Amino acid sequence: MIRVDKITKYYGRICALDSVSFSLNEGERVGLLGPNGAGKSTMMRILTGYMPASYGSAWVGQYEIHENPIEAKKLVGYLPERVPLYEEMSVKSFLAFVAEVKGIKRREINSKVAEVVEKCGLVSVYRRVIRSLSKGYRQRLGLAQAILGSPPVIILDEPTVGLDPQQVVEIREMIKDFGENHTVLLSTHILSEVAYLCSRVIILNEGKVVGDILVKGGETPKEIEDVFLKAIRAGLENLEKGA
Protein backbone atom coordinates (compact mmCIF):
# COMPACT_ATOMS: atom_id res chain seq x y z
CA MET A 1 0.00 0.00 0.00
CA ILE A 2 2.93 2.29 0.75
CA ARG A 3 6.33 1.89 -0.85
CA VAL A 4 9.28 4.11 -0.03
CA ASP A 5 12.31 3.75 -2.25
CA LYS A 6 15.62 5.34 -1.24
CA ILE A 7 14.08 8.57 0.00
CA THR A 8 16.63 11.24 0.86
CA LYS A 9 15.74 14.66 2.14
CA TYR A 10 18.05 17.58 2.70
CA TYR A 11 17.18 20.79 4.56
CA GLY A 12 19.95 22.96 3.20
CA ARG A 13 23.07 20.99 4.10
CA ILE A 14 21.39 18.95 6.82
CA CYS A 15 20.40 15.46 5.78
CA ALA A 16 17.07 14.65 7.47
CA LEU A 17 16.50 11.35 5.65
CA ASP A 18 19.25 9.27 4.16
CA SER A 19 18.19 6.77 1.51
CA VAL A 20 15.25 5.37 3.50
CA SER A 21 13.38 2.41 2.03
CA PHE A 22 10.49 0.35 3.40
CA SER A 23 7.06 -0.81 2.40
CA LEU A 24 3.71 -1.35 4.10
CA ASN A 25 1.20 -4.00 3.06
CA GLU A 26 -2.52 -3.43 2.98
CA GLY A 27 -4.09 -3.51 6.44
CA GLU A 28 -0.76 -3.33 8.26
CA ARG A 29 -0.39 -1.09 11.31
CA VAL A 30 3.17 0.15 11.43
CA GLY A 31 4.84 2.38 13.95
CA LEU A 32 7.60 4.73 12.95
CA LEU A 33 9.69 4.93 16.07
CA GLY A 34 12.63 7.17 16.73
CA PRO A 35 14.06 9.87 18.98
CA ASN A 36 13.38 13.54 18.27
CA GLY A 37 15.00 14.64 15.04
CA ALA A 38 15.13 11.12 13.63
CA GLY A 39 13.23 12.16 10.50
CA LYS A 40 9.79 10.72 11.36
CA SER A 41 7.78 13.86 10.62
CA THR A 42 9.80 14.56 7.47
CA MET A 43 9.03 11.05 6.22
CA MET A 44 5.34 11.55 6.89
CA ARG A 45 5.28 14.94 5.22
CA ILE A 46 6.83 13.44 2.11
CA LEU A 47 4.34 10.56 2.09
CA THR A 48 1.39 12.95 2.37
CA GLY A 49 2.65 15.17 -0.44
CA TYR A 50 3.28 18.17 1.79
CA MET A 51 6.91 18.38 0.71
CA PRO A 52 9.01 16.65 -1.94
CA ALA A 53 11.95 14.39 -1.27
CA SER A 54 15.35 15.54 -2.52
CA TYR A 55 15.93 12.10 -4.05
CA GLY A 56 14.03 8.84 -4.25
CA SER A 57 10.39 7.95 -4.76
CA ALA A 58 7.38 7.11 -2.65
CA TRP A 59 4.20 5.37 -3.76
CA VAL A 60 0.81 5.34 -2.10
CA GLY A 61 -1.25 2.61 -3.74
CA GLN A 62 -0.13 2.69 -7.35
CA TYR A 63 0.58 6.42 -7.42
CA GLU A 64 3.98 8.04 -7.04
CA ILE A 65 3.34 10.94 -4.69
CA HIS A 66 5.34 13.56 -6.59
CA GLU A 67 4.07 12.57 -10.04
CA ASN A 68 0.39 11.92 -9.20
CA PRO A 69 -0.13 13.97 -6.06
CA ILE A 70 -3.90 14.36 -6.31
CA GLU A 71 -4.57 10.66 -6.86
CA ALA A 72 -2.13 9.68 -4.12
CA LYS A 73 -3.58 12.20 -1.65
CA LYS A 74 -7.07 10.79 -2.24
CA LEU A 75 -5.85 7.56 -0.63
CA VAL A 76 -4.38 9.22 2.47
CA GLY A 77 -5.83 10.64 5.68
CA TYR A 78 -3.27 12.64 7.65
CA LEU A 79 -3.03 13.97 11.18
CA PRO A 80 -0.08 16.40 11.50
CA GLU A 81 1.81 16.64 14.76
CA ARG A 82 0.53 20.07 15.79
CA VAL A 83 -3.11 19.38 14.79
CA PRO A 84 -3.66 22.63 12.91
CA LEU A 85 -7.33 23.54 12.73
CA TYR A 86 -9.35 26.53 11.54
CA GLU A 87 -10.03 27.93 15.00
CA GLU A 88 -12.87 30.23 13.98
CA MET A 89 -14.96 27.47 12.41
CA SER A 90 -17.36 25.14 14.17
CA VAL A 91 -16.65 21.41 14.30
CA LYS A 92 -19.61 20.88 11.99
CA SER A 93 -18.57 23.36 9.30
CA PHE A 94 -14.90 22.30 9.47
CA LEU A 95 -15.72 18.64 8.88
CA ALA A 96 -18.16 19.59 6.11
CA PHE A 97 -15.39 21.59 4.43
CA VAL A 98 -12.94 18.69 4.73
CA ALA A 99 -15.55 16.34 3.27
CA GLU A 100 -16.06 18.71 0.33
CA VAL A 101 -12.38 19.06 -0.52
CA LYS A 102 -11.85 15.33 -0.11
CA GLY A 103 -14.35 14.90 -2.92
CA ILE A 104 -17.11 13.18 -0.95
CA LYS A 105 -20.38 13.37 -2.88
CA ARG A 106 -22.68 16.13 -1.68
CA ARG A 107 -25.53 13.79 -0.74
CA GLU A 108 -23.16 11.65 1.34
CA ILE A 109 -21.47 14.46 3.26
CA ASN A 110 -23.91 14.54 6.18
CA SER A 111 -23.84 10.80 6.74
CA LYS A 112 -20.04 10.54 6.43
CA VAL A 113 -19.52 13.46 8.81
CA ALA A 114 -22.01 11.98 11.28
CA GLU A 115 -20.15 8.68 11.10
CA VAL A 116 -16.75 10.13 12.05
CA VAL A 117 -18.31 12.41 14.67
CA GLU A 118 -19.80 9.33 16.30
CA LYS A 119 -16.59 7.29 15.95
CA CYS A 120 -14.37 10.01 17.41
CA GLY A 121 -16.71 10.95 20.24
CA LEU A 122 -17.38 14.48 19.02
CA VAL A 123 -21.17 14.40 19.33
CA SER A 124 -21.26 16.66 22.40
CA VAL A 125 -19.11 19.35 20.74
CA TYR A 126 -20.46 19.05 17.20
CA ARG A 127 -21.78 22.60 17.09
CA ARG A 128 -19.02 24.18 19.16
CA VAL A 129 -16.43 26.58 17.77
CA ILE A 130 -13.04 24.86 17.46
CA ARG A 131 -11.33 27.66 19.41
CA SER A 132 -13.26 26.61 22.52
CA LEU A 133 -12.29 22.92 22.39
CA SER A 134 -9.92 21.23 24.84
CA LYS A 135 -6.66 19.65 23.65
CA GLY A 136 -8.25 16.20 23.77
CA TYR A 137 -11.19 17.18 21.60
CA ARG A 138 -8.90 18.93 19.14
CA GLN A 139 -6.94 15.72 18.78
CA ARG A 140 -10.18 13.82 18.21
CA LEU A 141 -11.20 16.37 15.60
CA GLY A 142 -7.80 16.00 13.94
CA LEU A 143 -8.35 12.25 13.81
CA ALA A 144 -11.89 12.74 12.53
CA GLN A 145 -10.73 14.85 9.59
CA ALA A 146 -8.04 12.25 8.83
CA ILE A 147 -10.41 9.28 8.70
CA LEU A 148 -13.25 11.21 7.03
CA GLY A 149 -14.10 9.56 3.72
CA SER A 150 -12.46 6.35 4.94
CA PRO A 151 -9.17 6.64 3.03
CA PRO A 152 -7.31 3.31 2.83
CA VAL A 153 -4.12 4.79 4.34
CA ILE A 154 -4.03 6.73 7.62
CA ILE A 155 -0.86 8.59 8.59
CA LEU A 156 -0.68 9.90 12.15
CA ASP A 157 2.19 12.03 13.38
CA GLU A 158 2.55 11.61 17.15
CA PRO A 159 -1.20 11.34 17.75
CA THR A 160 -1.01 11.21 21.54
CA VAL A 161 1.61 13.87 22.23
CA GLY A 162 0.61 16.45 24.83
CA LEU A 163 -2.49 14.59 26.02
CA ASP A 164 -3.27 13.61 29.60
CA PRO A 165 -3.21 9.85 30.46
CA GLN A 166 -6.98 9.46 30.16
CA GLN A 167 -7.00 11.11 26.74
CA VAL A 168 -4.03 9.03 25.63
CA VAL A 169 -5.96 5.85 26.43
CA GLU A 170 -9.04 7.11 24.59
CA ILE A 171 -7.11 8.15 21.47
CA ARG A 172 -5.21 4.84 21.40
CA GLU A 173 -8.48 2.92 21.57
CA MET A 174 -9.83 5.00 18.72
CA ILE A 175 -6.75 4.36 16.58
CA LYS A 176 -6.88 0.66 17.37
CA ASP A 177 -10.55 0.59 16.45
CA PHE A 178 -10.31 2.21 13.00
CA GLY A 179 -6.90 0.67 12.38
CA GLU A 180 -8.64 -2.69 11.89
CA ASN A 181 -9.78 -1.65 8.41
CA HIS A 182 -6.98 0.66 7.27
CA THR A 183 -3.29 0.69 6.61
CA VAL A 184 -1.92 2.82 9.43
CA LEU A 185 1.47 4.47 9.72
CA LEU A 186 1.96 6.30 12.99
CA SER A 187 4.98 7.98 14.43
CA THR A 188 5.80 8.08 18.08
CA HIS A 189 8.67 7.91 20.50
CA ILE A 190 6.71 5.95 23.08
CA LEU A 191 7.67 2.26 23.04
CA SER A 192 4.55 0.99 24.78
CA GLU A 193 2.37 2.82 22.27
CA VAL A 194 3.80 1.05 19.24
CA ALA A 195 3.70 -2.25 21.04
CA TYR A 196 0.00 -1.75 21.80
CA LEU A 197 -1.09 -0.34 18.46
CA CYS A 198 1.20 -1.78 15.83
CA SER A 199 2.01 -5.09 14.27
CA ARG A 200 5.39 -3.87 13.07
CA VAL A 201 7.89 -1.20 14.04
CA ILE A 202 10.32 0.67 11.82
CA ILE A 203 12.99 2.43 13.85
CA LEU A 204 14.53 5.57 12.43
CA ASN A 205 17.61 7.28 13.76
CA GLU A 206 19.45 10.22 12.25
CA GLY A 207 17.54 9.79 9.00
CA LYS A 208 18.30 6.08 8.57
CA VAL A 209 16.30 2.92 9.15
CA VAL A 210 18.05 1.13 12.01
CA GLY A 211 15.45 -1.54 12.68
CA ASP A 212 12.37 -3.18 11.16
CA ILE A 213 10.80 -5.50 13.75
CA LEU A 214 7.56 -7.47 13.99
CA VAL A 215 5.48 -7.03 17.17
CA LYS A 216 3.44 -9.89 18.58
CA GLY A 217 1.01 -10.07 21.44
CA GLY A 218 1.09 -6.40 22.43
CA GLU A 219 4.38 -6.73 24.28
CA THR A 220 7.40 -4.55 23.70
CA PRO A 221 9.96 -6.96 22.22
CA LYS A 222 13.36 -6.72 23.78
CA GLU A 223 14.77 -6.20 20.31
CA ILE A 224 12.86 -2.92 19.85
CA GLU A 225 13.97 -1.68 23.22
CA ASP A 226 17.60 -2.51 22.48
CA VAL A 227 17.66 -0.90 19.04
CA PHE A 228 15.75 2.16 20.24
CA LEU A 229 17.93 2.72 23.30
CA LYS A 230 21.05 2.21 21.19
CA ALA A 231 19.81 4.89 18.80
CA ILE A 232 19.16 7.31 21.66
CA ARG A 233 22.59 6.63 23.16
CA ALA A 234 24.26 7.21 19.80
CA GLY A 235 22.37 10.51 19.51
CA LEU A 236 23.49 11.58 22.98
CA GLU A 237 27.11 10.69 22.19
CA ASN A 238 26.94 12.74 19.01
CA LEU A 239 25.52 15.66 20.97
CA GLU A 240 28.37 15.41 23.49
CA LYS A 241 30.93 15.28 20.67
CA GLY A 242 29.33 18.36 19.10
CA ALA A 243 29.41 20.21 22.41
Partner 1 sequence: MENIFYVAKREFKSYFLTPVGYVMLGLVGLLCGIAFVLSFLTYVDISQSPFQYGYSSVPDFEETFLSPFFVFCGILIMFLSPLITMRLFSEEYSKGTIELLFTYPIRDRDIILGKFLASLGILTLTVCVIAGNSFLLLPYTDIEPIVLIFGLFSVFLMGMAVLSIGMFVSSLISTPITAGLVSFGVYLVLFIAGNVAEKMPEKNPAPESLPQVLQKIIENMYFVVRSVMLELPLDNHAKNMALGIFEPKDIVYYLLWTVFFIFLTFRSLESRNWKG
What residues line the site for partner 1 (CB under 8 A)? 10, 45, 48-55, 66, 70-71, 73-74, 76, 78, 80, 82, 84-89, 93, 97-98, 100-103, 145
Between residues 77 and 211, which has the closer beta carbon with respect to partner 1?
77
- Our CB check for partner 1 shows the closer of 78 and 196 to be 78
Pick 83 or 204: Cβ nearer partner 1: 83
Q: Rounded to the nearest 10 degrees, what angle do helices 165-179 and 135-147 cross at? A: 10
Output the smallest distance, CB 192 to partner 1, in A.
28
End-to-end CA distance of the chain: 42
Provide the strand spans (E) within the chain: 2-11, 14-24, 29-33, 55-60, 63-64, 76-79, 153-157, 183-188, 200-205, 208-214
Q: Which is nearer to partner 1, 41 or 205 (CB)?
A: 41
Kindly state the smallest distance separating residue 74's Cβ from partner 1, in Å.
4
Cβ(25)–Cβ(2) below 8 Å: no
- Least Å from the CB of residue 41 to partner 1: 10
Strands laid side by side in the 208-214 sheet? 76-79, 153-157, 183-188, 29-33, 200-205, 208-214
- HSE-up of residue 64 (Cα within 13 Å, Cβ side): 9
Helix, strand or coil, per DSSP, at residue 140? helix
Cβ neighbour number for residue 192 with a 10 Å cutoff: 12
Rounded to a whole number of angstroms, the minimum distance from the CB of residue 213 to partner 1 is 28
Residue among 106 and 216 whose Cβ is closer to partner 1: 106
To partner 1, the closest distance from the beta carbon of 77 in angstroms equals 9
Shortest CB 48 distance to partner 1, Å? 4
Residue among 80 and 221 whose Cβ is closer to partner 1:
80
Q: In this structure, are residues 78 and 49 in contact, taking their beta carbons and an 8 Å threshold? A: no
Bridge partner residues of 184 (DSSP): 29, 154
